Amino acid sequence: MEKQEIRTFGRRHGKKLSARQQSLIDNILPTLYPTTGDILEIGFGAGEHVRDLARNHPDKTIIGAEPFMNGVASLLSAITDEKTNQVLNEYKNIRIWADDVRDFLRKNDSKFSQIWVLHPDPWPKARHVKRRLLSSDFLTLLSKHLATNGEIIIGTDHWEYFDWILMQTKSANLHATIANLDIIQTRYQHKNKAGTDSPKYLIIKN
Protein backbone atom coordinates (compact mmCIF):
# COMPACT_ATOMS: atom_id res chain seq x y z
CA MET A 1 0.00 0.00 0.00
CA GLU A 2 1.31 3.46 -0.88
CA LYS A 3 2.11 5.56 2.19
CA GLN A 4 -0.44 8.32 1.55
CA GLU A 5 -3.27 5.83 0.88
CA ILE A 6 -6.13 5.70 3.39
CA ARG A 7 -6.50 2.41 5.24
CA THR A 8 -9.99 1.03 4.55
CA PHE A 9 -9.96 -1.96 6.92
CA GLY A 10 -9.59 -2.46 10.67
CA ARG A 11 -7.21 -4.94 12.27
CA ARG A 12 -5.47 -7.65 10.24
CA HIS A 13 -5.32 -10.18 13.07
CA GLY A 14 -8.03 -11.20 15.52
CA LYS A 15 -8.14 -14.04 17.99
CA LYS A 16 -5.33 -16.58 17.91
CA LEU A 17 -5.65 -19.07 15.06
CA SER A 18 -6.04 -22.79 15.75
CA ALA A 19 -3.07 -25.03 14.91
CA ARG A 20 -4.93 -26.28 11.82
CA GLN A 21 -5.73 -22.74 10.65
CA GLN A 22 -2.09 -21.66 11.12
CA SER A 23 -0.90 -24.68 9.20
CA LEU A 24 -3.30 -23.84 6.34
CA ILE A 25 -1.99 -20.27 6.25
CA ASP A 26 1.62 -21.49 6.22
CA ASN A 27 1.25 -24.37 3.77
CA ILE A 28 -1.88 -24.00 1.62
CA LEU A 29 -2.27 -20.23 1.25
CA PRO A 30 1.00 -19.88 -0.75
CA THR A 31 -0.26 -22.49 -3.24
CA LEU A 32 -3.38 -20.37 -3.90
CA TYR A 33 -1.53 -17.18 -4.84
CA PRO A 34 -3.55 -15.46 -7.60
CA THR A 35 -2.22 -14.86 -11.08
CA THR A 36 -5.14 -14.27 -13.43
CA GLY A 37 -8.83 -14.66 -12.65
CA ASP A 38 -12.35 -14.34 -14.07
CA ILE A 39 -14.33 -13.24 -11.02
CA LEU A 40 -13.08 -11.15 -8.10
CA GLU A 41 -14.63 -10.77 -4.64
CA ILE A 42 -13.28 -7.95 -2.49
CA GLY A 43 -13.40 -8.15 1.32
CA PHE A 44 -14.81 -11.68 1.43
CA GLY A 45 -14.97 -11.84 5.24
CA ALA A 46 -15.43 -15.51 6.12
CA GLY A 47 -15.75 -16.41 2.42
CA GLU A 48 -19.31 -17.79 2.19
CA HIS A 49 -19.99 -16.03 -1.09
CA VAL A 50 -16.57 -16.84 -2.60
CA ARG A 51 -17.38 -20.53 -2.04
CA ASP A 52 -20.78 -20.08 -3.62
CA LEU A 53 -19.19 -18.45 -6.66
CA ALA A 54 -16.66 -21.29 -6.93
CA ARG A 55 -19.39 -23.96 -6.86
CA ASN A 56 -21.60 -22.09 -9.34
CA HIS A 57 -18.80 -21.31 -11.81
CA PRO A 58 -16.55 -24.39 -11.88
CA ASP A 59 -14.97 -23.30 -15.16
CA LYS A 60 -13.96 -19.85 -13.85
CA THR A 61 -11.12 -18.81 -11.56
CA ILE A 62 -12.45 -16.96 -8.52
CA ILE A 63 -10.07 -14.60 -6.72
CA GLY A 64 -10.96 -13.55 -3.18
CA ALA A 65 -9.18 -10.59 -1.53
CA GLU A 66 -9.22 -10.13 2.24
CA PRO A 67 -6.57 -8.60 4.55
CA PHE A 68 -8.15 -9.92 7.80
CA MET A 69 -6.18 -13.13 8.40
CA ASN A 70 -8.86 -14.76 10.59
CA GLY A 71 -11.25 -14.42 7.64
CA VAL A 72 -8.65 -15.94 5.31
CA ALA A 73 -8.21 -18.79 7.81
CA SER A 74 -12.00 -19.37 7.91
CA LEU A 75 -12.14 -19.64 4.13
CA LEU A 76 -9.11 -21.97 4.05
CA SER A 77 -10.71 -24.21 6.70
CA ALA A 78 -13.95 -24.41 4.74
CA ILE A 79 -12.36 -25.27 1.37
CA THR A 80 -9.97 -27.97 2.60
CA ASP A 81 -10.38 -31.55 3.76
CA GLU A 82 -10.18 -31.76 7.55
CA LYS A 83 -7.91 -34.82 7.48
CA THR A 84 -5.57 -34.20 4.56
CA ASN A 85 -5.72 -30.36 4.45
CA GLN A 86 -5.96 -30.64 0.66
CA VAL A 87 -8.28 -28.28 -1.24
CA LEU A 88 -11.60 -29.98 -1.98
CA ASN A 89 -12.41 -30.57 -5.65
CA GLU A 90 -15.34 -28.14 -5.74
CA TYR A 91 -13.08 -25.33 -4.52
CA LYS A 92 -10.00 -25.94 -6.68
CA ASN A 93 -10.83 -22.80 -8.70
CA ILE A 94 -10.37 -20.43 -5.73
CA ARG A 95 -7.31 -18.19 -5.39
CA ILE A 96 -6.65 -15.92 -2.41
CA TRP A 97 -5.04 -12.49 -2.12
CA ALA A 98 -4.58 -12.10 1.64
CA ASP A 99 -4.02 -8.35 1.65
CA ASP A 100 -5.32 -4.99 0.46
CA VAL A 101 -7.00 -5.52 -2.92
CA ARG A 102 -5.67 -2.19 -4.21
CA ASP A 103 -2.13 -3.59 -4.15
CA PHE A 104 -3.29 -6.59 -6.17
CA LEU A 105 -5.19 -4.51 -8.74
CA ARG A 106 -2.27 -2.21 -9.38
CA LYS A 107 0.08 -5.01 -10.29
CA ASN A 108 -2.30 -7.43 -11.97
CA ASP A 109 -3.92 -6.92 -15.37
CA SER A 110 -6.79 -9.42 -15.09
CA LYS A 111 -10.09 -8.35 -16.63
CA PHE A 112 -13.02 -9.68 -14.65
CA SER A 113 -16.55 -10.51 -15.79
CA GLN A 114 -17.74 -9.82 -12.24
CA ILE A 115 -16.27 -7.90 -9.31
CA TRP A 116 -18.25 -8.40 -6.07
CA VAL A 117 -18.13 -6.21 -2.95
CA LEU A 118 -20.61 -7.36 -0.28
CA HIS A 119 -21.21 -5.34 2.87
CA PRO A 120 -18.11 -3.13 2.66
CA ASP A 121 -17.32 -1.45 5.99
CA PRO A 122 -19.63 1.60 6.02
CA TRP A 123 -17.40 3.74 8.27
CA PRO A 124 -20.55 5.53 9.44
CA LYS A 125 -18.98 8.24 11.61
CA ALA A 126 -18.46 11.52 9.76
CA ARG A 127 -14.76 11.60 10.65
CA HIS A 128 -14.28 8.10 9.17
CA VAL A 129 -16.06 8.62 5.85
CA LYS A 130 -12.70 9.09 4.11
CA ARG A 131 -11.90 5.44 4.97
CA ARG A 132 -14.73 4.12 2.79
CA LEU A 133 -13.37 1.79 0.13
CA LEU A 134 -15.84 2.57 -2.65
CA SER A 135 -14.70 6.08 -3.51
CA SER A 136 -14.88 7.34 -7.10
CA ASP A 137 -11.10 6.77 -7.44
CA PHE A 138 -11.43 3.15 -6.37
CA LEU A 139 -14.46 2.59 -8.64
CA THR A 140 -12.39 4.00 -11.52
CA LEU A 141 -9.59 1.55 -10.69
CA LEU A 142 -12.12 -1.32 -10.64
CA SER A 143 -13.66 -0.24 -13.93
CA LYS A 144 -10.25 -0.65 -15.60
CA HIS A 145 -10.34 -4.31 -14.56
CA LEU A 146 -13.70 -5.08 -16.14
CA ALA A 147 -13.91 -7.37 -19.14
CA THR A 148 -16.26 -6.34 -21.97
CA ASN A 149 -19.78 -6.24 -20.44
CA GLY A 150 -18.23 -6.90 -17.04
CA GLU A 151 -20.05 -5.82 -13.87
CA ILE A 152 -19.15 -4.49 -10.45
CA ILE A 153 -21.80 -5.81 -8.04
CA ILE A 154 -22.10 -4.09 -4.68
CA GLY A 155 -24.44 -4.97 -1.83
CA THR A 156 -24.92 -3.17 1.47
CA ASP A 157 -27.61 -2.91 4.12
CA HIS A 158 -26.25 0.51 5.09
CA TRP A 159 -28.54 2.63 2.96
CA GLU A 160 -26.71 5.89 3.60
CA TYR A 161 -23.47 4.30 2.34
CA PHE A 162 -25.44 2.95 -0.63
CA ASP A 163 -26.55 6.46 -1.61
CA TRP A 164 -22.99 7.69 -1.14
CA ILE A 165 -21.65 4.95 -3.44
CA LEU A 166 -24.25 5.91 -6.05
CA MET A 167 -22.91 9.48 -5.95
CA GLN A 168 -19.35 8.16 -6.33
CA THR A 169 -20.34 6.21 -9.48
CA LYS A 170 -21.64 9.44 -10.98
CA SER A 171 -18.37 11.25 -10.20
CA ALA A 172 -16.52 8.35 -11.83
CA ASN A 173 -18.78 8.54 -14.93
CA LEU A 174 -19.89 4.92 -14.60
CA HIS A 175 -23.35 3.47 -15.28
CA ALA A 176 -25.13 2.21 -12.18
CA THR A 177 -28.39 0.25 -11.96
CA ILE A 178 -30.20 -0.59 -8.73
CA ALA A 179 -30.92 -4.33 -8.71
CA ASN A 180 -32.82 -6.96 -6.74
CA LEU A 181 -30.56 -9.91 -6.10
CA ASP A 182 -31.26 -13.13 -4.27
CA ILE A 183 -27.87 -14.40 -3.09
CA ILE A 184 -26.62 -16.39 -0.13
CA GLN A 185 -26.39 -14.64 3.23
CA THR A 186 -22.89 -13.62 4.23
CA ARG A 187 -21.87 -13.15 7.86
CA TYR A 188 -22.33 -9.39 7.68
CA GLN A 189 -25.67 -9.61 5.93
CA HIS A 190 -26.74 -11.83 8.79
CA LYS A 191 -25.41 -9.34 11.35
CA ASN A 192 -27.41 -6.53 9.67
CA LYS A 193 -25.71 -3.96 11.87
CA ALA A 194 -27.51 -1.09 10.12
CA GLY A 195 -30.85 -2.61 11.14
CA THR A 196 -32.45 -2.02 7.73
CA ASP A 197 -35.07 -4.27 6.10
CA SER A 198 -32.75 -5.71 3.45
CA PRO A 199 -29.53 -5.10 1.55
CA LYS A 200 -29.61 -2.91 -1.53
CA TYR A 201 -27.61 -3.88 -4.60
CA LEU A 202 -25.97 -1.84 -7.29
CA ILE A 203 -24.66 -3.11 -10.64
CA ILE A 204 -22.05 -0.86 -12.20
CA LYS A 205 -20.74 -1.03 -15.76
CA ASN A 206 -18.39 0.98 -17.95
Ligand X SMILES: C[S@@+](CC[C@H](N)C(=O)[O-])C[C@H]1O[C@@H](n2cnc3c(N)ncnc32)[C@H](O)[C@@H]1O
Q: Is residue 153 near ligand X by the rule CB under 6 A?
A: no
- Closest separation in Å from C-beta 47 to ligand X: 8
- Closest separation in Å from C-beta 148 to ligand X: 25
Member of 134, 189, 199, 202 binding ligand X (CB under 6 A): 189
Catalytic-role residue among 52, 121, 137, 163: 121
Is residue 68 within 8 Å of 9, Cβ to Cβ?
yes
- Closest separation in Å from C-beta 109 to ligand X: 18
Question: Cα dihedral angle (198, 135, 143, 150), rounded to 10 degrees?
Answer: 0
Q: Is residue 8 near ligand X by the rule CB under 6 A?
A: yes
Cβ-based nearer residue to ligand X, 14 or 86: 14
Cβ-based nearer residue to ligand X, 34 or 67: 67
Q: Is residue 65 near ligand X by the rule CB under 6 A?
A: yes
- Closest separation in Å from C-beta 121 to ligand X: 5
- Closest separation in Å from C-beta 65 to ligand X: 5
Which residue number places its CB atom closest to ligand X? 43
Q: Per CB under 6 A, which of residues 91..150 are in contact with ligand X?
A: 100-102, 118-121, 133
3-state SS, one letter per residue, for the chain: CCCCCCCCCCCCCCCCCCHHHHHHHHHCHHHHCCCCCCEEEECCCCCHHHHHHHHHCCCCCEEEECCCHHHHHHHHHHHECCCCCCECHHHCCEEEECCCHHHHHHHCCCCEEEEEEECCCCCCCHHHHHHCCCCHHHHHHHHCCEEEEEEEEEEECCHHHHHHHHHHHHHCCCEEEEECCCCCCCHHHHHCCCCCCCCEEEEEEC
Q: Per CB under 6 A, which of residues 43..62 are in contact with ligand X?
A: 43-45
To the query of whether residue 121 is one of the catalytic residues in this protein, the response is: yes
Supply the residues annotated as catalytic: 121
* Interacting residues toward ligand X by CB under 6 A: 8-9, 42-45, 65-68, 71, 100-102, 118-121, 133, 186-189
